[in-house]
Amino acid sequence: MHIKANGITFNYQIDGAQHAPWLIFSNSLATNLSMWDDQTRALSGSFHILRYDQRGHGKTDAPEGRYPFAILLADAIALMDAFEIRSAAFCGLSLGGATALGLAERYPDRIDRVIVCDSPCASTPTSAKQWEERIVMVKGGGMAAIAEPTLQRWFPPDVYAANPPGVVKVRGMVLSTPLNGFIGCCAALADHDFRSAVSSVSRPVLFLVGEKDPPNAAMREMHKELNGSQFVEIAGAGHICNIERPEAFTNAVEKFLMQPAGRGRSGIS
| CATH number of the CATH domain containing 150 | 3.40.50.1820
Q: Whole domain around residue 215: which residue ranges? A: 2-267
pLDDT of 261: 72
Q: How many domains, in total, are found in the chain? A: 1
User: HEC string of the chain?
Assistant: CEEEECCEEEEEEEEECCCCCEEEEECCCCCCHHHHHHHHHHHCCCCEEEEECCCCCCCCCCCCCCCCHHHHHHHHHHHHHHCCCCCEEEEEECHHHHHHHHHHHHCHHHEEEEEEECCCCECCHHHHHHHHHHHHHHHHHCCHHHHHHHHHHHCCHHHHHHCCHHHHHHHHHHHHCCHHHHHHHHHHHCCCECCCCHHHCCCCEEEEEECCCCCHHHHHHHHHHCCCCEEEEECCCCCCHHHHCHHHHHHHHHHHHHCCCCCCCEECC
pLDDT of 264: 41
Predicted TM-score (pTM) of the model is: 0.96
pLDDT in single tens digits along all 269 residues of the chain: 999 999 999 999 999 999 999 999 999 999 999 999 999 999 999 999 999 999 999 999 999 999 999 999 999 999 999 999 999 999 999 999 999 999 999 999 999 999 999 999 999 999 999 999 999 999 999 999 999 999 999 999 999 999 999 999 999 999 999 999 999 999 999 999 999 999 999 999 999 999 999 999 999 999 999 999 999 999 999 999 999 999 999 999 999 999 987 544 434 33
